[in-house]
A and B are shown apart, each in its own frame.
Chain A
Amino acid sequence: MTNIPLIPVLLLGAVLFCLGLLAVITKRHAIVVLMGIELIFNAANLNLVAFNRLQPDLMQGQIFSVFVMVIAAAESAVALAIILKVYQYFKTVNLDQIGSGTDT
């Protein structure tokens, strides 16, 4: 197993996080925003796995990332259900149009 240096991995995680953040802030479609959130989860997971190198025996990073994936799956299910309800109510999932209704 070749030794991958730590810094590039962390940089990749940061880039992933930024892309996710960008998606969450700028996208109008609710599902794309959800996808941005997934990216952020994955950036966090990458960080967890990368830092696991500091204590390889305990495998703490890997185990936490598995937990994160499970929670992310559950969260996605809940979020998708909400988005479905929102769609049924507003007939759109465009975030700009479903605000409080006062500022649009």
Chain B
Amino acid sequence: MNLNAAFTSTAEQNSLALWALVVLLLPLVAGVLLLVTGRKLPRQGDWLSIGATGLSFLLALYLFFQVWEMPVVHVVQNWFGLAGAGSNTFAFTIGIYLDNLAVLMLVIVTFISLLVQVFSVIYMHGEWRYHQYFGYLGIFTFSMLGIILADNLLLLFVFWELVGFSSYLLIGFWYEKDSAGRAGKKAFLFNRVGDIGFLLGIFLFYTYFQTFDLVILKNAVAGGINQGAAFLFPASVAGNSSVTLSYSLLTLAGLGIFCGCVGKSAQFPLQVWLPDAMEGPTPVSSLIHAATMVAAGVYLLARCFPFFTEDALLVISIIGALTALLGALAATAQYDIKKILAFSTISQLGYMVMGMGVGAHDASLLHLVTHAFFKASLFLNAGIIIHAMHHAAHELADEHSDVQDIRNMGGFRKILPLTFYAYIPAAAALVGLPLFSGFLSKDAILTGAWAWAGFKSLNGNYLYYLVPLFAFGSVLLTGFYMARHCFYIFFGHSKLYQAPTLLRASKTTETSGWLLVPVAVLAILSLAFFFSFNPFSYAGSWVMQGLSWQKLLFGQPGLSADLLPAITAYLHEAAYISLATAVLSVLLAVGGLWLGWLNYKSARRGGILTTAAPASSFGRLAYHHFYLDAFYEKVIINPFMRLTGRVAAFDNYFIDYSLNTFAKIMVVLAKLISWGDRWLVDGTIHLVVKVAGFVGKLGRFMQNGKVQTYYIFSVLGLILLVLYILAF
């Protein structure tokens, strides 16, 4: 069965889909093999995992060149059917959908997964569950590719959960550490909260359109006729009969799907799991909690973009802007090298989600792509530094110092120069300096947000400008926290480990090439040239053009039909916004860097801080991530625990008590019955037995084989006979 036969020949589509299937299954096969037999393979089988992912990457590249800017490949098979009322069955399909976005994501996921696995060879060396680690990574890669390739919401949800599960496995990889185990559980549970909304959203769409297939749903939604407070979907697009859905119901359904994104992409208010997820191995943080999995939420938004009404998009943009600001604020007060990056990831994800909300669909996806490279690079960089710190701590037998605390670092610019040079482009991209990839994507999002606010506030309500305001504020904060990150680590001198030999692999080599090459490759990919031929303007970016909503959605923005063209028109009119955004964002970023430098200088003058938490009230607030964890603890967890306590007490005292009483009554009854059994039933039987035995004994006594006894009895018999005769 083929729905898009008009686009490409069926045979060609099938062969491409087959290759996509191979890309999908290779990491799974490698992962499962490693989990089952890994310990017995040479080198615990890391080559198998890396080889499979490498092959997967090459195939993904092949698919990329076959599909990019080419007709969409969509192959559908029947999956299963469920009998419904009467004779109609509900058929469920399974399929592969390859468009520009999917192939680009395929390449990115397999590429970063490959680099991270290469990095892990040294980083995880000597780990006693080394093969399991690679096995889990394989399963994660498989699940992530599944999300990308899925053509319907049901299948997507299945892989969505698999991704959450493998994330759980990898966060809790060092489960011997209590905090790692708890972080894994926390991430899993917070994702579950979002997934409930996601599932409800899917159900709502299925209820009214009887399909999970994204293409059919998109067509159905695009065919909706806006009637003000409701949408009318004629029978031609909604299946059997025409459907009228109220605007608020559609908004709710869209927000339900957005809930899945809130959980997975760590948006406010569910973002608290991501900082804790840093308990996992650093390469895992790089792959899953920076580059790929957390971006799945944004990918979902892009796939489901037509299902969002204008109000749903408004909520999405507000949540995104808030998340961007909160994440950036929290990042300014952290001292853990990975936590700063984690909060930065939350902030950048906020940008992407906000970009989706303000209709900057392509800008948001461009940011997803660029962020994947530079953030993966930064995390792997942090991995090298942590590796070096561990090395030094191990040499000095120092077990007390926190090797991830940036206050314990310093001067690495001289000790690890190559690492520093690889760090600079990635950090610059994150801050959004021109010539680096982050500048393009961030600029595009900011422009989109400004244009959106300008268009929305045409009715006189200037509150919409809060969203771009938050976003621009976050640019300043990004500069600030990255300057802090950079100066604390690479400048000055380390108070703990000053001898360079402690931190370097040897006098001549700074660190293993296995660690350095992936970081360097990702750092180079943080340059703007790779994403746009003109590194100062996103407008000519080939990625962005390939990912525009006109191409991905076939020019059908769906429920928010009028918004996107209107914003484009508004931006066309107010062309100053593009230039102003570029200048303003660079100024803010540089200003942030300068403030960060001032902060670092003052911190050094006062001696590097040694207290665990900042002293100022705002610093404390940001350091503790606005006490969101404590808030959830107080408002949700504690009442819930109290409720469970009550339920447990009810269980103990009421249900158990009645059960015990019942059991006791049963025991007494049983005792009575057993008494009756023993004395009445058994007694009767025993009596019969005794009588029979007595008779038997009597008989035996009379026949004891002694002649004289027989004689006595004969004489007695004779006497009885005589007496009888005498008597009668």
Within 8 Å by CB of A99, from B706, B712, B715, lies B706
Render B603-641 as a binary contact track against A, CB cut-off 8 A, 1 for contact. Answer: 000000000000000000000000000000000000000
Interface membership of chain B positions 690-728, coded 1 if the CB is closer than 8 angstroms to chain A and 0 otherwise: 000000000000001111100110010000000000000
With A21-B715, A25-B712: A95-B704 Cβ-Cβ less than 8 Å: no
Instruction: State which of A21, A24, A96 has its C-beta within 8 Å of the C-beta of B706.
Output: A96
User: By the criterion CB–CB under 8 Å, are A100 and B708 in contact?
Assistant: no
Q: With CB as the reference atom, state the residue of chain A lying closest to B712.
A: A25
User: Taking the complex as formed, is A55 at the interface, i.e. its CB lies under 8 A from any CB of chain B?
Assistant: no
A103, B706: Cβ atoms closer than 8 Å: yes
Asked if B706 contacts A101 (CB within 8 A), the reply is no
**Judging by beta carbons under 8 Å apart, are A99 and B705 in contact?**
yes
* A102 to B, closest residue via Cβ: B705
Counting CB contacts under 8 A, is A39 at the interface? no
Neighbour of B705 across the interface among A25, A33, A103, CB < 8 A = A103
Given the complex of chains A and B, what is the CA–CA distance between A95 and B707 in angstroms?
8
Q: How many residues of A contact B (CB 8 A)?
A: 11
Query: CB-defined interface of B275-305 with A at 8 Å, one 1/0 digit per residue?
Result: 0000000000000000000000000000000
- Whether A95 pairs with B705 at a CB distance below 8 angstroms is no
B contact residues around A95 at 8 Å (CB): 706-708
A33–B712 Cα gap in the complex (Å)?
A: 13
Q: In the docked arrangement, what's the CA distance between A83 and B715, Å? A: 22
Beta-carbon contacts of B318-339 to A below 8 Å, as 1s and 0s?
0000000000000000000000
The answer for the CA separation of A47 and B703 in the assembled complex, in Å, is: 33
Within 8 A of B (CB), among A72-104: 95-96, 99-103
Minimum CB–CB distance from A25 to chain B (whole Å) comes to 6
* Interface size range of chain B in the complex: under 10
CB distance from A88 to the nearest CB of B (A): 18
Query: Which residues of B are found within 8 Å of A103, using beta-carbon distances?
Result: 704-706
**Shortest beta-carbon distance, A48 to chain B, in Å?**
18
**Which residues of A32-90 are within 8 A (CB) of B?**
33
Q: Which chain A residues lie closer than 8 Å to B704 at the CB level? A: 99-100, 103
Q: List, in ascending order, chain B residues with CB within 8 A of A99's CB.
A: 704-707
Determine whether the beta carbon of A101 is less than 8 Å from that of B705: yes
Contact residues in B for A101 (Cβ distance below 8 Å): 705
The reply to whether A24 and B705 contact each other, CB–CB distance below 8 Å, is no
Query: Which chain A residues border B706 with CB–CB below 8 Å?
Result: 95-96, 99-100, 103
State the CA gap A93–B704 with chains docked (Å): 18
The smallest C-beta distance from B501 to any residue of chain A, in angstroms, reads: 102
Chain A residues in 8 Å Cβ range of B707: 33, 95, 99
Shortest Cβ distance from residue B108 to the other chain A in the assembled complex, whole angstroms: 100
Which residues of chain A have C-beta atoms less than 8 A from B715's C-beta?
21, 25
B706, closest chain A residue (CB): A99
Q: Closest CB of chain B to A22's CB: distance in Å?
A: 11
Quote the shortest CB–CB distance from B711 to chain A (angstroms). Answer: 6
Residue of A nearest to B704 (CB): A103
In angstroms, how far is the closest chain B Cβ from the Cβ of A39?
14
Among A1-51, those with CB < 8 Å from B are 21, 24-25, 33
Chain A residue at minimal CB-CB distance from B703 = A100
Nearest-neighbour CB distance to chain B for A21, whole angstroms, equals: 7
Report how far A102 CA is from B706 CA in the complex, Å.
10
Instruction: Using CB atoms, name the residue of chain B closest to A30.
Output: B707
Distance (whole angstroms) from the CB of A17 to the closest CB of chain B: 10
Distance to closest chain A CB from B392 (angstroms)? 97
Q: What B residues does A25 contact at CB under 8 A?
A: 708, 711-712, 715
**In the assembled complex, how far is the CB of residue A66 from the closest CB belonging to chain B, in whole angstroms?**
25
Q: How far is the CA of A103 from the CA of B697 in the complex (A)?
A: 13
Cα of A25 to Cα of B709 in the assembled complex, Å: 8
A100 to B709, CA, bound (A): 12
Residue numbers in A under 8 Å from B711 (CB-CB): 24-25
| Cα–Cα, bound, A95→B715 (Å) | 18
Minimum CB distance partner of A96 in chain B? B706
Min CB distance, A19 to chain B, in Å?
14
Chain A residues lying within 8 Å of B705, measured Cβ to Cβ, are 99-103
Determine how close the nearest CB of chain A comes to the CB of B659; give it in whole angstroms. Answer: 60
What's the least CB distance linking A34 to chain B, in Å?
Answer: 11
Q: How far is the CB of B89 from chain A (nearest CB, A)?
A: 85
Q: Which of A95, A102, A103 has the most CB of B within 10 A?
A: A103
Distance in angstroms from B394 CB to nearest chain A CB is 90
The residue in A33, A96, A99 that gathers the most chain B C-beta atoms within 10 A of its C-beta is A99
Complex-state Cα separation, A25 to B711, whole angstroms: 7
What is the CB-to-nearest-CB distance from A27 to chain B, in angstroms, rounded to a whole number? 8
Minimum CB–CB distance from A36 to chain B (whole Å) comes to 10
Query: What CA separation (Å) do A70 and B461 show in the bound complex?
Result: 155
- A residues within 8 A CB of B708? 24-25, 33, 95
Chain A nearest CB, measured from B184 CB (Å):
81
A96 to chain B, nearest CB (A): 7
CB distance from B726 to the nearest CB of A (A): 15
Chain A nearest CB from B34 CB (Å) reads: 79
Q: How far is the CB of A100 from chain B (nearest CB, A)?
A: 3
Within 8 A of A (CB), among B662-712: 704-708, 711-712
Alpha-carbon distance between A33 and B708 when the two chains are bound, in angstroms: 9
Chain A residue with minimal CB distance to B705?
A: A100
Given the complex of chains A and B, what is the CA–CA distance between A21 and B718 in angstroms?
Answer: 13
Shortest distance in angstroms between A55's beta carbon and chain B's nearest beta carbon? 23
CB-contacts of B539-561 with A (<8 A): none
Q: Separation in Å of the B303 CB from the closest CB of chain A?
A: 98
B715 → chain A closest CB, angstroms = 7
A43 and B708 CA atoms in complex are apart in Å by: 20
The CA of A21 and the CA of B711, in the complex, are separated in Å by 9
Q: Which residues of B contact A21 (CB under 8 A)?
A: 715
A57 to B653, CA, bound (A): 114
CB distance from A44 to the nearest CB of B (A): 13
Closest chain-B Cβ to A97's Cβ sits at a distance in Å of 10
Q: A25 CA to B712 CA in the complex, in Å?
A: 7
Docked pose: A101 CA to B706 CA in angstroms: 10
Interface bits B556-581 vs A (CB < 8 Å: 1, else 0): 00000000000000000000000000
Q: Give bound CA distance, A39 to B707, whole Å.
A: 18
Q: Which residues of B contact A33 (CB under 8 A)?
A: 707-708
**Which residue on B lies nearest to A103, using beta carbons?**
B704
Which residues of chain B are within 8 angstroms of A102 by Cβ–Cβ distance? 705
Q: Which residue of A lies closest to B701 (CB)?
A: A103
Docked pose: A103 CA to B707 CA in angstroms: 13
Chain B residues with CB under 8 Å of A24's CB are: 708, 711
Q: How far is the CA of A25 from the CA of B713 in the complex (A)?
A: 11
* B-to-A contact residues, CB < 8 Å: 704-708, 711-712, 715
> What are some 6 contacts across the A-B interface (CB < 8 A)?
A21-B715, A96-B706, A100-B705, A100-B706, A102-B705, A103-B704
Task: Please name the 7 residue pairs, one residue from A and one from B, whose CB atoms are nearest each other, closest first.
Answer: A100-B705, A99-B705, A99-B706, A103-B704, A25-B708, A25-B712, A103-B705
Extra inter-chain contacts (8) besides given A95-B707, A99-B706, CB under 8 Å: A21-B715, A25-B708, A33-B707, A95-B706, A99-B704, A101-B705, A102-B705, A103-B704
